[in-house]
Amino acid sequence: MKSAALAIVKPVEEPETDMRETPRPPSTALREPLRREPSRLEAILRPVFLPAVTFALVLLGWTVMQAAFLPAFPDVPTVWNKAVEIFSNPFYVYGPNDMGIAWQVMYSLGRVLAGFFLALAVGIPAGFLIGANKTFEQAWMPLIAILRPVSPLAWLPIGLLVFRAVDPSAIFVIFITSIWPVILNTAAGVKAIPQDYLNVARVLNFDRREMVTKIYVPATLPYMLTGMQLSLSTAWMVIVAAEMLTGGIGIGFYIWDEWNNLSVPSIIVAIVIIGCVGIVLETGMNFVRRRYDYTGKKE
Amino acid sequence: MTERHPVLRISKLGKTFETRSGSFEALRDVDLSIYEGEFVSIIGHSGCGKSTLLNLVAGLETVTLGGIFLDGILVDGPGPERAVVFQNHSLLPWLTVYGNVRLAVDKVFAGRKTSAERDAWTREMLDLVNMAHPADKRPSEISGGMKQRVGIARALAMEPKVLLLDEPFGALDALTRAQLQDSVMEIHARLGNTVVMITHDVDEAVLLSDRIVMMSNGPAAGIGEIHEVSLQRPRRRLELGEHPDYLAARTAVMRFLTRNRTDKAA
């Protein structure tokens, strides 16, 4: 009798399903002989060993190519010596147009962070308005749709015209770079807030302020962080190009300056530095995201 | 039921939805009084408007015709005195189990209880639903049944005049569902709160309720029959199976639902 009634029950929805579950192999019979358990030592060495092999291969290819076809290109020892030279005195200041590599990187980082945080200050509230209010969305989305695909560098002349200085213009370009992902992701996050959360808030008679601080912001945070991560990594790419055009100081200017000096080894060192700083930014953002993103389960 | 004092009175209630394809009358002329300490289930086929009825009582939907009165005062809008346990638990995923209950406690008892008292009250409510242990876990780290326990604790923490349960066990497996039903019965026995529960499970309705309100099918659904369940409390599910009152109630509800079913609903 009990079971008869239970049959009326709706099919059980399984909320615990982990979407990221690894797909089951199509046939274990085929896979079995190919796979064996990796030993612990192997597990530790692989992430070090495999990239080391890749790097070694690239260096080897570089050496061979340079010797065979590109005598004008610096060889590996030359670049290495240049790197040692650059890193031996990263903080020197010989005048406003001649500073150590650390200053160059820090100026670039400073511009990126300034533009990025300005974009957050404007983009997050704007995203909230667009996500929460249909009128705002209809009014602003077409404009955003037109401006978003434009390379941020196209704004540089306008920045220079308006601000008549290098620093604010570069920051302005980064601001333009960063703002679109922040607005769009925040708006998407606000729209994705389940009605259930809002119902909870309504039963509790939350006022507008409580609604924003206790429901809207925390519910949207993962989306905002995604937008921020996107912004920051793009901004770091754009700053190099912007500084090539503005001149003065910064890692982008440094590359252009060394090109004018025909010092290709310095450029290669700078490329590696830019990549490493990019990794640091990415890791930092990942850390922040993991800290605040409630949707990701703990690894 | 010595003193018959209606906590909740639903009077000539009607609800019409304005949709793009015209208006849809979901409920018509619903009259129902619910008394202090009573456990009332509302049962009906899916789409009969029972969830609409609950949303109207909760204030989450606006009334088209008639009125809903709580202690004689017209309901217009949601409020913690009509706390809802939602079908999908609706816990806020960025808060811990404790945080979810505390959020409600902080809001409802702001100015009336000190921080220490609110903390104690939150923990008492979690204890009541046997969720004191995982208080620091996030909703994503606990099972569906546990989530629903927290949802119940959150609603109870508001000290509602009427506790509204919207198919609270619908998404749970049969064993978890039985456990939670027992918990709800225990809590109801201890606190004596007034409860309105939406369900589509006949056994659940008979086991838990003092009265079962059976709703006719929509559009323009209304109350078809009301069956009083006279079974003694505390009720034990294993002993009830052969009890004549249990069988009578079950048969009455089943007969109503079978008679009212539309061809596609079966």
The pLDDT tens digits of the residues spanning B134-168 come to 999 999 999 999 999 999 999 999 999 999 999 99
Q: Is A37 on the interface with B (CB under 8 A)?
A: no
Q: How far is B199 from chain A (nearest CA, A)?
A: 10
A90-119 pLDDT, tens per residue?
Answer: 888 888 778 889 999 999 999 999 999 999
Region of A11 (left: φ > 0; alpha: ψ -120 to 50; beta: rest) is: beta
Beta-carbon separation of B90 and A199 below 8 A? yes
Q: In the 8-state DSSP scheme, what is residue A133? A: -
Most trustworthy range by pLDDT among A2-11, A105-114, B12-21, B169-178? A105-114
The pLDDT of residue B241 is: 78
Residue of B210, B198, B138, B192 whose CA lies nearest to B168: B198
User: Which backbone phi and psi does A74 adopt, to 5 degrees?
Assistant: -70, 150
Which pLDDT tens digit goes with each residue over A171-219? 999 999 999 999 999 999 999 999 999 999 999 999 999 999 999 999 9
* Cβ-based neighbours of A6, under 8 Å, separated by 6 or more: B174, B201, B203
Which of A109, A133, A40 has its CA nearest to residue A249? A109
The architecture of the domain spanning A86-292 is: Orthogonal Bundle (1.10)
Contacts of B202 in chain A (CB under 8 A): 5, 8
Q: How far apart (Å, rounded) are the C-alpha atoms in residues A57 and A70?
A: 18
Task: State whether residue A202 sits within 8 Å of chain B by CB.
Answer: yes
The CA distance from B161 to the nearest CA of chain A, in Å, is 13
pLDDT of res. A296? 53
Minimal Cα distance from B242: which residue of A? A1
Burial (CB count <10 Å: 0-12, 13-18, 19+), residue A96 = exposed
> What 3-state class would DSSP assign to A285?
helix
The whole-angstrom separation of Cα A204 and Cα A206 is 6
Q: Which chain A residues are closer than 8 Å to B94 by Cβ? A: 218-219, 221, 294
pTM: 0.79
Mutation target to probe the B interface, by most B beta carbons within 10 A, among A16, A203, A214 is: A203
User: Residue type for B48, please?
Assistant: C
What is the rounded distance in angstroms from the CA atom of residue A92 to the CA atom of residue A98?
8
Cis peptide upstream of residue B6 (ω within 30 degrees of 0): no
Burial of A16 (0-12, 13-18, 19+ CB in 10 A): exposed
Instruction: Determine the topology of domain B6-83+160-259 in CATH.
Output: Rossmann fold (3.40.50)
Query: CB contact, 8 Å: A13 with chain B?
Result: yes
Coil, strand or helix at A226: helix
CB-nearest to B171 from A6, A15, A205 is: A15
Among the listed residues B80, B58, B76, the one whose alpha carbon sits nearest the alpha carbon of residue B67:
B76
Q: What are the residue boundaries of the structural domains of chain B, listed by start?
A: 6-83+160-259, 93-158
Distance (Å) of CA A113 to CA A233, A235, A267: 11, 9, 23
Q: A297, B82: Cβ pair inside 8 Å?
A: no
> Nearest 5°: phi and psi at B176?
-60, -40
Contact A203 B92 (CB under 8 A): no
Q: What local confidence, expressed as pLDDT, does residue B264 receive? A: 47
Averaged pLDDT for residues B218-236: 85
Cβ–Cβ below 8 Å for B107 and A210: yes
Domain boundaries, chain A: 86-292
Summary mean pLDDT of chain A: 86
Side-chain-facing half-sphere of B253: CA atoms under 13 Å = 29
pLDDT average, residue stretch B222-247: 85
Residues of chain B contacting residue A203, judged by C-beta atoms under 8 Å apart: 58-60, 78-80, 82-84, 158
Please indicate if any CB of chain B lies within 8 Å of the CB of A213: no
pLDDT in tens, B81-135: 999 999 888 999 999 999 999 999 999 999 899 999 999 999 999 999 989 999 9
